[in-house]
A = this chain, B = another copy of it.
């Protein structure tokens, strides 16, 4: 009968934070323990701006030896979208050695129980948070995000999503008590009595397959959900975005070791160019959970083939905004312009298709025809990005040549309402910085449908002319059902239209933002409050974060009787 290890110092240190996170996911009000302003760091043991930059510079050009068993080679080759080679070498694994080694620590990790596991995870996040400035540079120089975005989305916001996953994992595990007495009356006879113990047990090794654009933000939920539920976690980063997750693994291994657990419970699997290591690992019998963010093609392959594992995927989608009417035309244009521009549209949540009635929309600034609205939107984007310094700060760099190729091909798809502009970056002349393009398409033409019904990942959006808002709503339904959507937006002053759009989002499940005109954007979700994806349409089979995201990562074993 294992005693509950309530007195562990890490539990004492982090229990209050865990309780706050548990409350936040219950109320879904605003909450975050991770400051998002760079100036908040530099005291109480956290790295300040210069220290963070120095730490990042110090790791460049080195071999990051994580002390992992089964390292048969060293691989690297990351090049920043801003130009510089990172020159970091990472361990390449022999799965036949590494995977069994990762399993060795599972019984002790299981015996630790949900509370201590959560506290260990929170210590990992706390140490990562203290190095946020360092991680910001690592995320910037792998994803191409501008520094401020890399700092916030790759730092505190990613840490929030990790903490949220730990909270869900903890809550799910303690829904069943550790033990119970069971006494069943038997009329005049003695009652039946049993003692029962319940232990949450992880499934085995969990594989996290990282993405290029948001290595920490998209990687942390699965990583921490699996670790907190008693699994070992193998992190296979995108070959262009290894460093942020390698540093994460380094911190996790140190915390595990310090807490007396096997550091091999968390390991990195960096791959050789073109190796396809994710495919190999995904089919290993030891791998029982997979979290993946990336292309629909590989996500579907994982779902179809990694049948020994629970597979959680975020894939491609076609995000749509229904534009019907507004009582804040200026706010709507500003909000949309920002959404299209942020990180050059390289977010899975960036709106792609704007569905606009051919006859125009009503606004507080008077009626606007389709052409007028598209021109106004183009002007709003141009205005937002007119200053190169500001443009660089918002756009970041194109993450890879594939994005640039799609952008270059955009004029072939239709009439260009807003041409993309190359922005020069004085600090990083090699960075490919581009403003978004807006292309006009006709929602009634089948040829145009081929364009707007595919995901065109990057800074390309389509202004699609429709016969009516009712047609827009129907195209929205078809788009979500067939192509999936991470986000849906709508602008309307009509209660009837709002309800029609909402019904579509309830039917096909998708997350809806209505009439955003201020400083919250369609492409941003806040941990503890907003769900990222619905898990109910083709864009993703899971959401960040709910009970379903964690409940399948462990099983509860009951022992009843005596001894």
Residue of B nearest to A560 (CB): B513
The CA-CA distance from A185 to B198 in the complex, in Å, is: 42
A95 within 8 A of B: no
Does the CB pair A546–B556 fall under 8 Å? yes
Which residues of B sit under 8 angstroms from A25, Cβ to Cβ?
175
Contact with B along A207-224 (1 / 0, CB 8 A): 000000000000000000
Of B175, B303, B529, B531, the contact of A556 (CB 8 Å cutoff): B531
Of B175, B192, B529, the contact of A196 (CB 8 Å cutoff): B529
Residue of B nearest to A549 (CB): B551
Does the CB pair A502–B192 fall under 8 Å? no
A50 within 8 A of B: no
The CA-CA distance from A505 to B561 in the complex, in Å, is: 14
Does the CB pair B512–A559 fall under 8 Å? yes
A110 within 8 A of B: yes
Residue of B nearest to A173 (CB): B547
The CA-CA distance from A530 to B194 in the complex, in Å, is: 11
Does the CB pair A180–B506 fall under 8 Å? no
Does the CB pair B561–A529 fall under 8 Å? no
Which residues of B sit under 8 angstroms from A506, Cβ to Cβ?
107, 110, 199, 201, 557
A176 within 8 A of B: yes
A159 within 8 A of B: no
* Nearest-Cβ distance from residue A149 to partner chain B, whole angstroms: 17
The CA-CA distance from A196 to B175 in the complex, in Å, is: 26
A127 within 8 A of B: no
Given A505-B557, A506-B557, A512-B558: A182 in contact with B548 (beta carbons within 8 A)? no
Which residues of B sit under 8 angstroms from A510, Cβ to Cβ?
557
A259 within 8 A of B: no
Does the CB pair B203–A536 fall under 8 Å? yes
* Nearest-Cβ distance from residue A332 to partner chain B, whole angstroms: 11
Given A555-B535, A556-B543, A559-B514: A30 in contact with B175 (beta carbons within 8 A)? no
A518 within 8 A of B: yes
Of B556, B557, B563, the contact of A514 (CB 8 Å cutoff): B563
What is the copy number of this chain in the assembly?
A: 2
Does the CB pair A543–B530 fall under 8 Å? no
A27 within 8 A of B: yes
The CA-CA distance from A552 to B182 in the complex, in Å, is: 29
Does the CB pair B543–A555 fall under 8 Å? yes
Of B26, B194, B519, the contact of A520 (CB 8 Å cutoff): B194
Among A27, A307, A503, A552, max chain B CB count under 10 A is at: A552
Which residues of B sit under 8 angstroms from A307, Cβ to Cβ?
303-304
Which residues of B sit under 8 angstroms from A512, Cβ to Cβ?
557-561
Which residues of B sit under 8 angstroms from A561, Cβ to Cβ?
512-516
Label chain A's interface by main secondary structure: mixed
Contact with B along A184-197 (1 / 0, CB 8 A): 11100000101010
Given A192-B518, A526-B184: A563 in contact with B498 (beta carbons within 8 A)? yes
Residue of B nearest to A174 (CB): B26
The CA-CA distance from A563 to B534 in the complex, in Å, is: 21
* Nearest-Cβ distance from residue A230 to partner chain B, whole angstroms: 10
Which residues of B sit under 8 angstroms from A514, Cβ to Cβ?
559-563
The CA-CA distance from A226 to B256 in the complex, in Å, is: 40
* Nearest-Cβ distance from residue A98 to partner chain B, whole angstroms: 20
Of B27, B194, B518, B548, the contact of A551 (CB 8 Å cutoff): B548
The CA-CA distance from A239 to B552 in the complex, in Å, is: 32
Does the CB pair A519–B186 fall under 8 Å? yes
Residue of B nearest to A552 (CB): B548
The CA-CA distance from A512 to B185 in the complex, in Å, is: 23
The CA-CA distance from A495 to B562 in the complex, in Å, is: 10
A511 within 8 A of B: yes
Residues of A385-440 contacting chain B, CB below 8 A: none
* Nearest-Cβ distance from residue A308 to partner chain B, whole angstroms: 11
Contact with B along A18-50 (1 / 0, CB 8 A): 000000011111100000000000000000000
The CA-CA distance from A177 to B528 in the complex, in Å, is: 12
Which residues of B sit under 8 angstroms from A29, Cβ to Cβ?
180-183
A152 within 8 A of B: no
Which residues of B sit under 8 angstroms from A543, Cβ to Cβ?
555-556
27 contacts between A and B (CB under 8 A): A27-B177, A28-B177, A29-B180, A29-B181, A30-B182, A107-B503, A171-B175, A175-B546, A176-B546, A180-B529, A182-B529, A194-B520, A506-B557, A509-B557, A511-B557, A512-B558, A514-B560, A514-B561, A514-B562, A514-B563, A520-B560, A531-B556, A531-B558, A534-B557, A536-B555, A546-B551, A547-B547
**Chain A residues within 8 Å of B, Cβ to Cβ:** 25-30, 107, 110, 171-172, 175-177, 180-186, 192, 194, 196, 198-199, 201, 203, 303-304, 307, 492-493, 495, 498, 502-503, 505-507, 509-516, 518-520, 526, 529-531, 534-536, 543, 546-548, 551-552, 555-563
A-B contacts besides A175-B546, A510-B557, 8 pairs, CB < 8 Å = A27-B177, A28-B176, A186-B519, A514-B560, A515-B563, A530-B560, A536-B557, A548-B551
7 smallest beta-carbon distances between A and B, as pairs: A514-B561, A548-B551, A536-B555, A28-B180, A498-B563, A547-B551, A509-B555
